[in-house]
Amino acid sequence: MTDQNDILVRVEGLKMHFPITQGVVIQRQVGAVKAVDGITFSVRRGETLGLVGESGCGKSTTGRCIIQLYRPTAGDVYFEGQDLTKMKGQKLRAMRRNMQMIFQDPYASLNPRMTVGNIIGEPIEIHKLVSGKKERQERIQELLRIVGLNPYMANRYPHEFSGGQRQRIGVARALAVEPSFIACDEPISALDVSIQAQIINLLEDLQEQFGLTYLFIAHDLSVVRHISDRITVMYLGKLVELATRKELYDHPLHPYSQALLSAVPIPDPLVEEKRKRIILTGDVPSPVNPPSGCNFHTRCPQAIDICREQEPEFYDRGGDHWVACHRV
């Protein structure tokens, strides 16, 4: 059992449905994209929770709902025991200081018309964390040093930096307000492999230095295994499995988790040769009209009748290993 005081973020029954409308003058809703469809999990203080799944499964939407960049359709998001979905205005803005996000694309997430100093300094000014220009400038230079950039770069513009440097600027912006929780939305997927390792090491060093808590969203399972303490697997808007890093990689219980992990190459030719690759058939169903019962039954090699009729419960199989599957 986990002590409730150890939980920093708690998500309960989270749903995010994007309406589909028709009409020009009078618009009417004809459906909804069920990007996130009723998920529950928690993130403990000081840990890194990895969130994995294929493209379009709702990972990034989950991160944005936690930070309240998207206001959820239903469900609750608790941060240090306070429900963010019930907050508005100044109270929510004050709470947002404790939660930040590192975005996927370092080319699109920085304003090209602002200098690096202004990009990093903007959240400092919004939350009134410094008393004057000199203190603001010193804080910006300190943040640049922390993320491995030269302080004199503060007067440059984003187009003068490489992709890895831009992502470091994004990290510095997230750190500017001294948050306790950071949602990392695929922060290395747009970078070269050699640069990816540098950013991962930077994130780990910052976590140790400042006691940060991460939600690490990615689809590269080898990276997630390296950085995460626990990992949860998502498929078509729902969580299918959650366990510690070692438990999930050594004993995956859900057929989708097993298929994902079978695709991760192992740098040992003898082990790789004996491994059986699980190839999933068919395409991912549309989140507009997900299948009845278990979302995964249309592609699952182990599906039986109950999988098509009844949605499986997401429950603890013991040892803090959660899974949603009728066959387990």
Task: Let me know if residue 174 belongs to a domain.
Answer: no
pLDDT of 24 above 90: no
Reported confidence tier of residue 270, pLDDT bands at 50, 70, 90:
confident
Task: Let me know if residue 25 belongs to a domain.
Answer: yes
Query: What pLDDT does 124 receive?
Result: 92
pLDDT of 269 above 80: no
Within 45-86, strands assigned E span 48-52, 74-79, 82-83
Looking at per-residue pLDDT, the higher value among 266 and 180 belongs to 180
The tens digit of pLDDT for each residue in 226-238 reads 999 999 999 999 9
Task: Let me know if residue 154 belongs to a domain.
Answer: no
Q: Rounded CA gap, 197 and 223, in Å?
A: 9
Mean pLDDT of 286-300: 92
Reported confidence tier of residue 3, pLDDT bands at 50, 70, 90:
low
Mean pLDDT of 92-110: 90
pLDDT of 38 above 90: yes
pLDDT of 54 above 60: yes
Give the orientation angle of helix 133-146 with respect to helix 116-126, to 10 degrees.
120
106 close to 167: Cβ distance less than 8 angstroms: yes
Q: Rounded CA gap, 239 and 103, in Å?
A: 22
Task: Let me know if residue 305 belongs to a domain.
Answer: yes
pLDDT of 219 above 90: no
The percentage of the chain sitting over the pLDDT mark of 70, rounded to a whole number, equals 98
Within the chain, strands assigned E span 7-22, 28-44, 48-52, 74-79, 82-83, 99-102, 181-185, 213-217, 230-235, 238-244, 315-316, 322-323
145, two tokens = 């040093």
> The domain containing residue 256 runs over which residues?
4-98+179-323
pLDDT mean across residues, the chain: 91
Long-range pairs for 119-122 at CB < 8 Å and ≥24 separation?
A: 119/158, 119/169, 119/173, 120/144, 120/154, 120/169, 120/172, 120/173, 120/176, 121/176, 122/173
Q: Rounded CA gap, 54 and 260, in Å?
A: 9
pLDDT of 2 above 70: no
Task: Let me know if residue 89 belongs to a domain.
Answer: yes
Task: Let me know if residue 151 belongs to a domain.
Answer: no
Residues paired with residue 7 on neighbouring β-strands, in sequence order: 44
Instruction: Give the up-direction half-sphere exposure of residue 180: CA atoms within 13 A in the CB hemisphere.
Output: 11
Task: Let me know if residue 218 belongs to a domain.
Answer: yes
* Pairing between β-strand 48-52 and β-strand 230-235 as defined by DSSP bridges: parallel
230 close to 245: Cβ distance less than 8 angstroms: yes
The tens digit of pLDDT for each residue in 112-149 reads 999 999 999 999 998 888 888 999 999 999 999 999 99
Q: Rounded CA gap, 284 and 165, in Å?
A: 35
Q: For residue 182, give Cα distances in angstroms to 142, 211, 328.
A: 19, 11, 33
Mean pLDDT check: name the lowest of 124-128, 156-160, 275-279, 302-306.
275-279
Mean pLDDT of 271-276: 72
The tens digit of pLDDT for each residue in 237-256 reads 999 999 999 999 999 999 99
Task: Let me know if residue 298 belongs to a domain.
Answer: yes
Please count the structural domains in the chain: 1
95 close to 89: Cβ distance less than 8 angstroms: no
pLDDT of 264 above 80: no
> Domain containing 14 — which CATH number?
3.40.50.300
